[in-house]
Structure 1
Amino acid sequence: MKYTVTDIHNMDSRFRAQFVNSLSGFKSAHLVGTQSNQQVHNVAIVNSVFHLGADPALLGMIMRPHTVRRDTLENIVETGVYTLNHINSEIIAAAHQTSARYDQELSEFNECGLTPYFSDTHNAPYVAQSRVKIGMALEEVVHLAVNQTNMVIGRIVEVILDDNAVLEDGFVDLQALDSVCIASLDGYYQPSLLARFEYAKPGVVPQKKR
């Protein structure tokens, strides 16, 4: 089956959102933890986090157009700090529920059955149930005129995870940590490692790592 630009444009809006969101493949699944200047804790699911650089250690994420109240983005801009928390199989229902719209004065942690956790060195709430917790400091918000979204660029300032999850070469064993991924808007998957390969060189047959 072939879909043209016209076909995609004429789709029902909810169908189109699911369809187009599926095309980019499996995406990372994170909960963004923030708090307002009034100390109200907020948590929201995102599937748009991406690696931007290792030195400095930067992660980006795309936030939807700021045409209505966006507590997560507003809190990040106000406080300059936030957290990214991997979703695991035990909290996928609670994580999905964070996509609901709650009143601004309510703690979405409480409403969704998640627990805020604060480290001694970061002023944004982590998700206690997450097995990979990443503390972020805001570097830049870039407005994308093409569709009015915002790219949030943050610097990693701390990482909290199990000691045995980091292998000798720095590889983080996400399968051992039960990190899940998302397809489209509401499909949750448990990825499994198929293979790791040695550094690729021209003219050399790819070699699997042992």
Structure 2
Amino acid sequence: MQLKKEELEKLERKFRLNLINSISGIKPANLIGTKSPNQEENVAVFSSVVHLGSSPAQLGFIMRPQTEVPRDTYPNIMETGFYTINHISKSFIKKAHFTSAKLKKGESEFERMKLQPEYIADFYAPFVKESSVKIGMKHLESIPLPNGCIFVIGSVELLVVPDQVINSLGQLDLESYDGVGISGLNSYYGLNLLETFPYVREDEIPDFE
């Protein structure tokens, strides 16, 4: 298949949506937890979390355009300044996926999907207890994007990771806790470690055949 832009635009809508959403490959699978000023808990699946920097530690993610009836995640972040990022594992991918449903205002995805909110070290926003890797975030900046989406930038305020999933170099072994990735909007893949390579210096590049 070879498609130019004008040919892509003529594809059937759902086919095009699925195709374009999956061409970027495997994306991280995370649940973002928030709590409103009225103490209403919310959690939703996101596949757009990206690393921005290590010192200071910062992560970003993409928020869809906010319509006249916005979802809870973004307003909660803007009103309280805090949210959590929680890795999804195989054991609860179905529950995690269905947090994408549009529930009524004030109805908690935690309760509806039988996920357990967890509060750690007096952090304002709820973590997902089932998650092995939990990250407490503080909102720093929101940047409007050309397509109406919003790039949300935050600082890492709290990190909770089991000791046994971190190697001597500080790297997470995603396979050890059955971490998963997302392709497109609704296809989940298991993650297996294939190889670990050293930091690349020019004089250490091997002779490839």
TM-score class normalised by the smaller sequence: over 0.9
RMSD: 1.2
Q: What is the aligned partner in structure 1 of residue 128 from structure 2?
A: 127
1:188 is aligned to 2:188: yes
Alignment deviations for residues 63-102 of structure 1 (CA, whole Å, 9 cap, x no partner):
1011241210110001000000000001000001001000
Q: What is the aligned partner in structure 1 of residue 173 from structure 2?
A: 173
Q: What is the aligned partner in structure 2 of residue 89 from structure 1?
A: 90
1:120, distance to aligned residue in structure 2 (A): 2.2
1:174, distance to aligned residue in structure 2 (A): 1.0
Query: Which secondary structure does the structure 2 equivalent of 1:102 belong to?
Result: coil
Detail structure 1 runs of 4+ shifted over 4 Å in the superposition: none
The runs of 5 or more residues in structure 2 that have no matched partner are: none
1:16, distance to aligned residue in structure 2 (A): 1.5
**What pairs with 1:7-86 in structure 2 (closer than 5 Å)?**
7-67=7-67, 68-86=69-87
Query: Which secondary structure does the structure 1 equivalent of 2:86 belong to?
Result: strand
Query: Which secondary structure does the structure 1 equivalent of 2:3 belong to?
Result: coil
Query: Which secondary structure does the structure 2 equivalent of 1:170 belong to?
Result: coil
Alignment deviations for residues 131-182 of structure 1 (CA, whole Å, 9 cap, x no partner):
11000000101111x1010000010011112111111111111111211000
Q: Say if 1:132 and 1:177, in contact at 8 Å, map to a contact too.
A: no
1:121, distance to aligned residue in structure 2 (A): 3.0
1:61, distance to aligned residue in structure 2 (A): 0.2
Q: What is the aligned partner in structure 1 of residue 158 from structure 2?
A: 158
Q: What is the aligned partner in structure 1 of residue 148 from structure 2?
A: 148
Please give the alpha-carbon distance, in whole angstroms, between the structure 1 residues aligned to 2:13 and 2:50. 26
Q: Aligned partner of 1:170: which letter?
A: G
Q: Aligned partner of 2:78: which letter?
A: V
The runs of 5 or more residues in structure 1 that have no matched partner are: none
Query: Which secondary structure does the structure 2 equivalent of 1:189 belong to?
Result: strand
1:200 is aligned to 2:177: no
Q: Which moved more, 1:147-156 or 1:4-13?
A: 4-13
Q: What is the aligned partner in structure 1 of residue 107 from structure 2?
A: 106
Query: Which secondary structure does the structure 2 equivalent of 1:98 belong to?
Result: helix
Query: Which secondary structure does the structure 2 equivalent of 1:8 belong to?
Result: helix
1:104, distance to aligned residue in structure 2 (A): 1.1
Q: Which moved more, 1:9-18 or 1:98-107?
A: 9-18
Aligned length: 206
Please give the alpha-carbon distance, in whole angstroms, between the structure 1 residues aligned to 2:48 and 2:163. 27
What TM-score results when the alignment is normalised by the length of structure 1? 0.95
